[in-house]
Structure 1
């Protein structure tokens, strides 16, 4: 019987020691931490974490409210090749912006006369009708296509308007190219003196002086421009002519 009680006592003592071990805190209290750290640090050099409360874990729901502090000598604050990356990025941006400005910068579109292609003369009773075919060059110096609209031409003979023509849709000019465009302008001579002059058979050549005033609207790179041109031409109003001859630019 005595042996049994001794074993029970031993078991009771063992269970008591287990209960004492169960109540032993995993993380020491403040005094214990200060005493344990006294060998490496003096008392007062360390303080407990105010946010995690000594547990070493962040409370749930406070992840967005806490701020992590990184030491100044942490390598993450000094990434490698930072200057190289910044220089390459700036260089690429400069190259792209330069190319965009180079290709999209508006350049001139020129309208220039070429020649009188032909002139066909008709002799009704009281006037002279001449169908004149002119040739123009439209030069596009841009890296974008150009659309030409609303070509308006007025023919004058000594300040008298003798013919007009208006064309809405002219042509399209490809980038960095020259397009030749032909148009016909009817000239009606109703003046009696001009009528007699052009119909006079005794004259070998009937020179008619015309002053052409042209205007045209172009569209390119999201904006419109107005082009104008003045030129002179001489035709034979007494006979048909299908031989092209050059037009003349006005005097300065």
Structure 2
């Protein structure tokens, strides 16, 4: 995830909470307390991993049947980033969608860009 601080004062990221959903069911969660300082007018990268397991029978068929040429599963990612600045704490909510190639058990990472005020 790429985080940009467009302010003229430093911002500290204190917590990241993420849920991964498939077909409206939560299939993975992660919550990390961390301290990442982002200087004024700067950007930082934050890497995260969410382990998940999908037990849906139809998804299993999509991933394993040889007749099906596309083996992508759509995951909904929603999260909260807690930031602190000037003795104030704020939660920033973000969401995104990720296609996972379940046949190869891989996905291409992409950047989510929540922006502190």
Is residue 40 of structure 2 the alignment partner of residue 175 of structure 1?
Answer: yes
**How far did residue 243 of structure 1 move?**
4.6
Q: Distance in 1 between matches of 2:107 and 2:28?
A: 20
Give the aligned length. Answer: 112
Is residue 93 of structure 2 the alignment partner of residue 239 of structure 1?
Answer: no
* Residues 86-107 of structure 1, C-alpha deviations (whole Å, 9 max, x = no match): xxxxxxxxxxxxxxxxxxxxxx
Three-state SS of the structure 2 residue aligned to 1:228 is strand
Q: Distance in 2 between matches of 1:169 and 1:194?
A: 34
Residue in 2 aligned with 1:196?
61
**How far did residue 242 of structure 1 move?**
6.1
- Where structure 1 has 5 or more consecutive residues not aligned to the other structure, the ranges are 1-135, 248-252
RMSD (Å), alpha carbons: 2.0
Q: Distance in 2 between matches of 1:245 and 1:218?
A: 22
**How far did residue 238 of structure 1 move?**
1.2
- The answer as to whether partners of 1:139 and 1:179 remain within 8 angstroms in 2 is yes
Residue in 2 aligned with 1:185?
50
Q: Distance in 2 between matches of 1:157 and 1:242?
A: 15
Residue in 2 aligned with 1:222?
87
**How far did residue 204 of structure 1 move?**
2.8
Q: Distance in 2 between matches of 1:230 and 1:143?
A: 26
* Structure in which a larger fraction of residues adopt helix: 1
Three-state SS of the structure 1 residue aligned to 2:97 is strand
- Where structure 2 has 5 or more consecutive residues not aligned to the other structure, the ranges are 113-117
User: TM-score w.r.t. structure 1 length?
Assistant: 0.41
**How far did residue 178 of structure 1 move?**
1.0
> CA separation of 1:156/1:138 partners in 2, compared to 1, >3 Å: closer, same or farther?
same
Q: Distance in 1 between matches of 2:39 and 2:15?
A: 18
Residue in 2 aligned with 1:88?
none
* Structure in which a larger fraction of residues adopt strand: 2
Q: Matches of residues 66-215 of structure 1 in structure 2 within 5 Å? A: 136-215=1-80
Query: Which of the pair has more CA radius of gyration?
Result: 1
* Residues 213-241 of structure 1, C-alpha deviations (whole Å, 9 max, x = no match): 11011011111011110111212111143
- The answer as to whether partners of 1:217 and 1:224 remain within 8 angstroms in 2 is yes
Q: Distance in 1 between matches of 2:31 and 2:63?
A: 26
